[in-house]
Structure formats: C-alpha cells, structure tokens
Amino acid sequence: MPRAATLSRTTKETDITVTWDLDTPGPAQIATGIGFLDHMLEALAKHSGTTLHVACKGDLHIDGHHTTEDIGIVMGQALRQALGERTGIERFGHIACPLDEALVEATVDISGRPYLVYDLKPEAAMLGAWATELIPEFFGGLTDNARICVHLHQRCGRNSHHIVEAGFKAFARALRQAIKVTGSGIPSTKGLLA
C-alpha cells in the first residue's frame, strides 16, 4: 500500500494542509508564510527522499509561534498516518550532517513513544522572519504527533543559519534511514510500534 497521507487542521490561529508521500521523491511545495521555515521544510523533503506539500495560512500578524508549532503537529500526524503499521521499516536512523563549520547529529527511533532531545544552540534570535526559539516548538509538535523519538545534538558551529540547516538536514537523513522498508516484520520484540 502507498505510504502517504493528506491531513488538514483549521483553528482560529492557523489553516494547514499537509501531504506527505514517504515513497516518492519529488519536488516540495511549501508555503508557510515564513521564508526560512519554507527553506528548512524544502531541505527536509529533499534529504528525506520524500514528497512534502505544506500550505499554511497563519496569524503571522501576531508572530510565527502558532504557524510553526501547528505545522509540526500536522506534519507529525501525517507522518504517523503514512507509516501505517510500520511493517518492515528499519525503525532507527542516525547521521552526523555538516554544513561548513557546523555539525549536527540526529538520531531517530520510530518507536511509538514520543520524545525530543533538542540541543541546537543558534546564537541569532532571528533567521529572516523566523525566531530561532520556535525551532524546538516545530520539532516538539512533530515528534509528539508522529510518536517518534528524536535526538538533535549540535557538535560544533558558529553560524546560526548553518547550525539550523544542518539540524534539519540531519533529521531528514536520519528519518530517511528509519522509514526505509528493509524487512517484512515489525521491528520490535513487543510485536508492535504504537
């Protein structure tokens, strides 16, 4: 069965539709209203080897918080739905991704137990119009709703753009490993990943 999902979520703060196809690499279509977030989600799609479409109309006249967190929530829900029973997946992914002087290590476990360890330290308060304090809000929304475990650790870095971009690319590459179908059973002694 195709591993893809389309989900929408509308609140008084955001109106979001996400389509995520895990098995078809393709061009991303991203429109969040926040340029740097668009850039990061395009990188996530490219380096995870997936097709990702994200459309969001949010209350950016207030700030980027609701848009960022809610996109993470809907992406997490779409990822969880697209993974289905998780039969045959590799489950774990791990990589260290450099971007010039920055190096970020990402580990993913599609465990059914949500947990985020976020250890990126960009010094800039803003990247374009995106507040860097919102980055863990995005990853928190995604991990909680996908029910996956993610560790992001900055090993070195000076430039905030490089640190954050290396983080998204590392997450994407670790996710790519974890979602790959390499077997036929559930990779857990419990017999399920939920």
**Across 160-175, average pLDDT:** 98
Q: CATH number of the domain that 94 lies in?
A: 3.30.230.40
Instruction: Identify residue 142 by its one-letter amino acid code.
Output: L
Q: Is the pLDDT of residue 134 over 70?
A: yes
CA separation for the pair 34, 25 (Å, rounded): 24
Domain count, the chain: 1
pLDDT in tens, 77-99: 999 999 998 999 999 999 999 99
Q: With respect to residue 175, please indicate whether it lies within any of the assigned structural domains.
A: yes
pLDDT band at 190 (very low <50, low <70, confident <90, very high): confident
Query: What is the average pLDDT score of the chain?
Result: 96
Q: Is the pLDDT of residue 194 over 80?
A: no
Q: With respect to residue 184, please indicate whether it lies within any of the assigned structural domains.
A: no
CB atoms closer than 10 angstroms to residue 120: 21
Place of tokens 């690319």: 169
Q: Are strands 102-109 and 92-99 parallel, antiparallel or unpaired?
A: antiparallel
pLDDT band at 184 (very low <50, low <70, confident <90, very high): confident
pLDDT in tens, 101-123: 999 999 999 999 999 999 999 99
Share of the chain above pLDDT 70, in %: 97
**Across 164-172, average pLDDT:** 98
Range of the domain at 9: 4-179
CA separation for the pair 40, 46 (Å, rounded): 10
Q: With respect to residue 191, please indicate whether it lies within any of the assigned structural domains.
A: no
pTM: 0.96
Q: With respect to residue 148, please indicate whether it lies within any of the assigned structural domains.
A: yes
Q: Say what the pLDDT of residue 95 is.
A: 98
